[in-house]
Amino acid sequence: MSDLTLEDIAKLAGVSRSTVSRVINENPNVSNKVRTRVLKIIQNTGYHPNAAARSLASQRTHMIGLVLPRTTSSFFTDPYFPHLTQGIAFACNNNDLTLSLFLVGNRSDEEKITPRISRRGLLDGTLIQSGPLDDSLVKRLIESKVPCVVLGRPLIKQSLSFIDVDNVSGAKTAVNHLIRLGYQRIGMITGSRNSSVTIDRRKGYFDAMHETGRVIDESLIAEGDFTESSGYIVMQTLLSQKPDAIFAHSDIMAIGAMRAVHEAGLQVPQDVAFVGYDDLPNLSVSNFGLTTIHQPITHFGIKAVELLMDVIDHGIKPARQLILGTELVIRDTCGTKYRGMLSDKGTEQDFQGALSIINAAKQEV
């Protein structure tokens, strides 16, 4: 019965063609009784409304865009983005939306893509990964007044909808864990300095250090760019400063940094402990057991689509802000087992007892 028309459904339901159209396009001006009857007939007959006709009637294309201001290579090599895209695609499939992906690697790409994503009638709305402080692409989307949700806290001052995780709290939890384990020279490998993620995770590090009376040693802080190679390179420099623990702004950079530690003839966590950030699934099950801050990447993508749908349905104002929580996942690289089986739930008495065991072991050696 795939050749059924709107008129056929109307005849079977005993209603007008316009009533069927209103039901299909979710118009509220239809009684529940009639809506139920029409939907039942549609389900029983397997009728599928013409997508083009439905779009014309509802003034919706049922398409959204995902804009990633990254080079094509980093999109396919950084595990974060496939997991994010998986969540977004899952939500689109569940809500009968078509997803269009736009990778913006440079200014030339931006000039070509901006008119397409900001032109009314092509996309119902856009998800865009937050970029640097002078992110002109986000600014141009705001000016176009196309429904938009930024993935990550935007650095521009205009009020707009965004979704993020609590990066300040997550970083603070990571550093506090290392402090509780008794590490004294806690270093940090940051992401790119003009990223809101980096700014917030740096703040979490500084907050934890200040609140526990630690003196900040800038020589223990180095800037990476969220790639494994940057973690490897900056760790080679940091090793000369003899850190005993490192908080890395991403799991990928932690991997690179640990490679540098091993190549220097040192051990993780006995010589240098590590806590990463992301909890990427393919890394959590690896043989080194990376302690990290879990952020719900796939769930983040799902919630981003839901937030965008709300903006599309109810308007861009007021701006919405959705902040998701994080969680410390303790594995091997922080040295919890090595330093007395401590966890963040341990008491101060547990902590002091573990330290005395460690100190006694060192004296015996």
What is the band of 46 on the pLDDT scale with cuts at 50, 70, 90?
A: confident
Q: How far is the C-alpha of 239 from the C-alpha of 78, rounded, in Å? A: 25
Q: Is residue 239 part of a domain?
A: yes
Q: Which residues, including other chains, have CB under 8 Å from residue 203's CB and lie 6 or more apart?
A: 168, 171
The angle formed by the CA atoms of residues 112, 226 and 69, to the nearest 5 degrees, is 10
348 and 208 in one domain? yes
Q: How far is the C-alpha of 103 from the C-alpha of 80, rounded, in Å? A: 15
Q: Which domain holds residue 348?
A: 167-296+327-364
Average pLDDT of the chain, as a whole number: 84
For 211-265, the pLDDT digits (tens) are: 999 999 999 999 999 999 999 999 999 999 999 999 999 999 999 999 999 999 9
Displacement of CA 153 from its chain's centroid (Å): 11
For 133-167, the pLDDT digits (tens) are: 556 777 777 777 889 999 999 887 778 899 999 99
157 and 197 in one domain? no
Burial class (CB in 10 A: 0-12, 13-18, 19+), 96: exposed
Q: Which residue has the higher pLDDT, 21 or 193?
A: 193
For 342-355, the pLDDT digits (tens) are: 444 333 344 344 44
What is the band of 190 on the pLDDT scale with cuts at 50, 70, 90?
A: very high
CATH number at residue 289: 3.40.50.2300
Q: Is residue 26 part of a domain?
A: yes
119 and 94 in one domain? yes
Q: Which residue has the higher pLDDT, 357 or 134?
A: 134
DSSP codes joined into one string, 27-79 = -S-S-HHHHHHHHHHHHHHT----HHHHHHHHT---EEEEEE-S-HHHHHH-T
199 and 97 in one domain? no
Reported pTM? 0.76
Q: How far is the C-alpha of 157 from the C-alpha of 360, rounded, in Å? A: 54
Q: How far is CA 190 from CA 37, 105, 155, 205, 345, in A?
A: 58, 22, 17, 10, 27
